[in-house]
Amino acid sequence: MAFSAMALAVALSVLPPFALADELSRQVLVRDITSVEGVRENMLVGYGLVVGLRGTGDRQQTIFTVQTLANAMQKMGVLISPTSVVVKNVAAVFITASLPAFSRPGSKLDVTVSSIGDAQSLDGGVLLMSSLYGPDGKVYAEAQGPLVLGGYSAGTGANRKEVNAANVGIIPQGALVERDTSVDLSGFKTVSLLLHNPDFTTAVQIADAVNKEFNKPVASAIDNSRVDISVADASSQTVTMLISRVQNLVLQVHTPAKIVVNERTGTIVMGGDVKLSPVSVIHGNLSIQVVTTYVAVGVTPVGGLGQPGQAGAGPGGDSRGRGGLDTLQPIVVPETSLSANDSAAQSMRLDEGANVDELVKGLHAIGTSARDVVAILQAIRAEGGMQAELEVQ
C-alpha cells in the first residue's frame, strides 16, 4: 500500500469544505433512497455446458464436464462412456441472472456465464439450453446462445498473453422467462418504503413529506428503515399511482458523519459532516535500511593441470600453471551495511470545529502516508476528538 499523502489529499480535496449546516444537505427523490417492500429482483442460477471452443475447454481431469456431456448426449439418443471421451472444446459453466420484479413469461434477461473447470478460455463458445432456478428450486427461465467476452487469451506457457477475464462471458438477452413472477399491487393495503441507508431523521422526513403531499396523515415512520403509507387513507385511484406520486417527492438528505477506512487498499472516505475537537497530532518516521554488497578482495587461480600458485612449472609453463590452462577467479566476500534514519517529529493542531478539508491539508503538510492516516484517525477516534463513526473494512 504505497500510497502517498499527496495522492490521499488529491482524492479527498475534491470534496468542498462544509462550513454551514445547510450545505451538508442535498436534494434527492424518494425513489433514489428507498425501495417498495415486496417489489424486488430475484437471483437465478443454473448449470450448463459451453460448446464450440477452440481446444480451450476443460481437460480430462474435470470429470463432471464429460459426465454432463454424456447425459446431454443420452437425451439426444446417443450413448457414450464418460471414461472414454476426450474433448477439449467443451466447458462446464454456472449461469447467473437477476429476475426483475413483474417479469412475465416471454421477457428476456441478460445472463452471465462463468467457467467452473480448468478451461483456458470461453472465447467463441455457445451455451446449450440450460435451466435457471430460483431460491425455491423452481425453474424460472431458460438460457441459451453465443457468449460475448470482454477479454481474450492466446499462446501457451511463458508466451501466453491474457487480457481481462477470458473465463467469464455474458449473453445479452440470452434467457427467456418461463414463470410469471409479477406482484399483484391491487391487494396492497399498506405500501411500505424501505430505506437503503437506515436513518431515523430521513424516515421521519419521508413521512412528513408524504403527509404534506396528501394534506392528511397517511404515512408514519415505523423505525429507522421503514415508512408505512396507508392506501385507503391516501384515496389514490390505484396503488401504482400512489407509489409513483410518493417516489417523485423531493427531500433534503443530510450527509452522515462517518469515516470508512480500508486498510488493505489504503482507501479513506470521509463524510462532509465530520467534525473534530481541538487535537494535536505528532508524527515521526523511523526508517532502518540494511544493504548487502559483494566486494572483491583478491584473486585465486583455479582449474588447469598445474598446481595452483606454482608459476612457470615445467617447460612451456607460465604464471597460470602448466600449459597455461589455469584461470584467475576473484575472491568475493559479502559486506553488510546498516543505516538508520530517525526523522524529527512533525506536529499539527486542529482547532474547534475543524472539518475534513483542514484535516487532509494538515496531514499532508506533515508528510503522512495513507497507512499513517489510518493510524492517526483511529487514535483521534479513541481519544474522543472525532465526532463521527469510524468504520474499518
208 within a domain of the structure (yes/no): yes
84 and 165 co-located in one domain: yes
Cα–Cα nearest to 209, from 243, 249, 245: 249
17 within a domain of the structure (yes/no): no
Residue written as cell 504505497?
Answer: 2
- Structure confidence at residue 170 as a pLDDT band (50, 70, 90): very high
3 within a domain of the structure (yes/no): no
280 and 291 co-located in one domain: no
pLDDT (tens digit, 9 = 90+) per residue, 334-386?
A: 776 666 666 666 666 666 666 666 776 777 676 777 677 777 777 777 777 77
58 and 147 co-located in one domain: yes
56 and 157 co-located in one domain: yes
47 and 170 co-located in one domain: yes
4 within a domain of the structure (yes/no): no
pLDDT higher than threshold 90 for residue 106? yes
Do the bridges between strand 258-262 and strand 389-392 make them parallel or antiparallel, or are there none, so unpaired? parallel
Which residues are within 8 A (CB) of 335 and not within 5 positions of it... i.e. 6 or more apart? Answer: 292, 293, 294, 295
Determine the structural domain holding residue 166 and report its residue range.
42-177
153 and 276 co-located in one domain: no
Q: Which of 7-11, 67-71, 351-355, 376-380 has the highest mean pLDDT?
A: 67-71
161 and 55 co-located in one domain: yes
pLDDT (tens digit, 9 = 90+) per residue, 122-168?
A: 988 999 999 999 999 999 999 999 999 876 666 665 566 666 678 89
Looking at 88-102, 221-235, 246-260, which range is the least confident one?
Answer: 246-260
pLDDT higher than threshold 60 for residue 186? yes
Query: Which amino acid, residue 380?
Result: I
Q: Which of the listed residues 177, 197, 215 is the one where a domain comes to its end?
A: 177
Taking every pair of Cα atoms in the chain, the longest distance, rounded to a whole number of angstroms, is: 122
Residue written as cell 466447458?
Answer: 91
241 and 198 co-located in one domain: yes
75 and 103 co-located in one domain: yes
Phi, psi of 76 (to 5 degrees): -85, 0
102 and 155 co-located in one domain: yes
2 within a domain of the structure (yes/no): no
The H-or-E segment that residue 173 falls in is: strand 168-177
12 within a domain of the structure (yes/no): no
pLDDT higher than threshold 50 for residue 14? no
CB 143 within 8 A of CB 174: yes
Q: Which of the listed residues 254, 274, 295 is the one where a domain comes to its end?
A: 254
**Please, which residues bridge with residue 109 across strands?**
175
11 within a domain of the structure (yes/no): no
State how many domains the chain has: 4
CB 111 within 8 A of CB 131: no
238 and 153 co-located in one domain: no
198 and 97 co-located in one domain: no
7 within a domain of the structure (yes/no): no
Q: What is the CATH number of the domain that holds 220?
A: 3.90.1150
Q: Which of the listed residues 155, 177, 199 is the one where a domain comes to its end?
A: 177
